[in-house]
Amino acid sequence: MNDEPGDGPGFRSGFVAIVGRPNVGKSTLCNRMVGHKVSIVSDKPQTTRTQVRGVRTTATTQIVFLDTPGVHKPRTLLGERANDRALVTLAEVDAVCFVIEANAPIGRGDGFVAARLAAVDTPVVLAVNKIDAAAHEAVGAQLARAAAELGDFAAYVPVSARTGAGVDALVAECEARLPEGPHYYPPGTTSDQPESALAAEFLREQLLATAREELPHAIAVTADEFEERTTAAGEPLLAFRLVVAVERASQKGIVIGRQGAALKAAGTAARRELEALFGTKVHLETRVKVDPDWQRRAGSLDRLGL
């Protein structure tokens, strides 16, 4: 998909924000459209906390997708900041991909996002996701409801981020709304996230996969240190020191697990994914610390990059 293109007349490029309420599949859809994993995925709401950029380059276009946090009613300062990150770019991008679900009623959260989109001049493509989990008739009914309840959009595309159905059509609708422009990233680039940020997010993804219901929002992961080394056999090695922050001492015990088993399993799974992504050996050193009520404290959020 990442052909070797050149800037010139007819080459189109730009930025497309992916927005919607939590758990509609924005990150999975972003990964599918980019063709590589650039955002972590979880069934826990508000997994995405910062704006993640994924880059799709072909011989004629380059789209920079902005995977944004799910827009929700915030209960903490973290939630307020996540909402701000999701909504601040709407008037600055070239197009917006607004994601709703095919297998769930249109709710107040969808309406809130639609109202914000109506206030800007940016063209909006509505993606009705999860068609693999809905009957054909239900998808058609949802498209009709979306047009009636959420407003008039530039295009309506039923898709499945999980299977890939309809994704090419969605990408084409986004490409059609790009202006002529340059490469913003070199060919071959799929994300602008540094290795340390990816390592922290991949570990958080694995911790979310096993976390208890009350724990996911209390987990934050940052990279304390990153170093390029070589193994005893002379192979290149990327070494990361990651810090997992939780809000209470009881949560620290859950994250670590009996005799460290939970944290070790999460680290092993994250390391394997990172080695596949980077194409080199990876070493993760992890520790867990308690940062009381970090989601509600501006200083803690600033320190965590949130």
Helix (H) or strand (E) holding 12: strand 12-19
Which pLDDT does position 1 carry in this prediction? 42
Instruction: Give per-residue pLDDT as tens, 231-290.
Output: 888 888 999 999 999 988 988 988 998 898 999 999 999 999 999 888 889 999 999 999
Gap between the Cα atoms of 56 and 16, Å rounded: 11
**What pLDDT sits at residue 193?**
85
Query: What does the pLDDT average to over 70-82?
Result: 68
- Domain residue ranges of the chain, discontinuous segments joined by +: 12-175, 195-303
Tell me what pLDDT residue 30 has. 94
- Please tell me the pTM assigned to this model: 0.80
Tens digits of residue pLDDT in 162-193: 999 999 999 999 999 999 999 999 988 988 88
| pLDDT the model gives residue 4 | 44
Cα 238 to Cα 6: distance, rounded to the nearest angstrom: 32
Furthest-apart CA atoms within the chain: distance in Å = 64
pLDDT tens digits, one per residue of 41-56: 766 655 666 678 899 9
Once rounded to an integer, what is the mean pLDDT over residues 296-300? 78
2 pLDDT more than 70: no
Residue 293 predicted with pLDDT over 90: no
CATH 3.40.50.2300 fits 12-175, yes or no: no
Per the prediction, the chain carries an average pLDDT of 86
Phi, psi (deg, nearest 5) at residue 207: -65, -35
- Letter string b/e over residues 15-31, b meaning 16 or more CB atoms within 10 A of that residue's CB: bbbbbbbbbbbbbbbbb
State the pLDDT at residue 159: 96
CATH number of the domain at 195-303, please?
3.30.300.20
First to last CA, the chain: 32
Count of residues making up the chain: 306
293 near 220, Cβ under 8 Å?
A: no
Q: Locate 178 and state its tokens.
A: 């790009």
Structure confidence at residue 147 as a pLDDT band (50, 70, 90): confident
Least confident among 3-7, 90-94, 223-227, 263-267: 3-7
Contacts of residue 227, defined as CB under 8 A and 6 or more positions apart, other chains included, come to 238, 239
Residue 297 has pLDDT above 60, yes or no: yes
